[in-house]
Amino acid sequence: MDARVTEIQFVPKGDERGQLIALEALSEQVPFEVTRVYYIFDTTPGTVRGNHAHKNLKQVLICVSGACTIVCEMPDGTKMEYRLDWPNRGLLIEGLVWRQMKDFSKDAVLIVLASEHYDEADYIRDYNQFRKGCAK
């Protein structure tokens, strides 16, 4: 799978009562079956999470409260930073992307929709292995 990071904009179904965003599996925004959902919250100030890549996993990250920064590095060394600071923004990460999550605000709740069950064998935690593009 090619490494790819896509910024996604969700369209809120807002009215005078407030906002609502609905996400559906196998849609343009979430182009996979959602098999797992996890969320990160109550993050200790200064914490940097992640520091790994995945071989096959597809994920959509949404900061539904507060803000955090996602740093994505491609196998060729290209780096991009994305500030997720509003519930209508998401980040789709596919393929071999080294990711870090950092600069969490105190109220940050980062929800992640994932295409697969948790599987340690899908992780690449060795940065040098990642840079070699070795997915084995």
Angstrom distance (rounded) from CA 129 to CA 53: 10
Stretch 102-131 residues interacting with ligand TYD (CB under 6 A): 118
Nearer to ligand TYD, 118 or 127 (CB): 118
Task: For tokens 């969320």, name the residue.
Answer: 39
Tokens at residue 5, please?
Answer: 């990071």
What is the phi-psi region of residue 26: left when phi exceeds 0, alpha when psi lies from -120 to 50, beta otherwise? left
Our answer to whether residue 54 is catalytic in this structure is no
108, two tokens? 């940050």
Q: Which residue in the set 49, 89, 102, 131 belongs to the binding site for ligand TYD (CB under 6 A)?
A: 49
Pairwise CA distance, residues 111 & 39, whole Å: 4
- The position carrying tokens 């507060």 is 66
Query: Shortest distance, CB of residue 16 to ligand TYD, whole angstroms?
Result: 37
Smallest separation, CB 117 to ligand TYD (Å): 8
Which region among 8-16, 23-31, 35-43, 89-97 touches ligand TYD (by CB under 6 A)? 35-43
Comparing CB distances to ligand TYD, the nearer of 40 and 96 is: 40
Choose among 77, 112, 75: nearest CA to 92: 112
**Segment near ligand TYD (CB under 6 A), from 16-24, 36-44, 58-66, 90-98?**
36-44
41 part of the interface to ligand TYD, by CB under 6 A? no
89 binds ligand TYD (CB under 6 A): no
* Cα gap 72→128, rounded to integer Å: 15
Q: Which residues are catalytic, by number?
A: 52
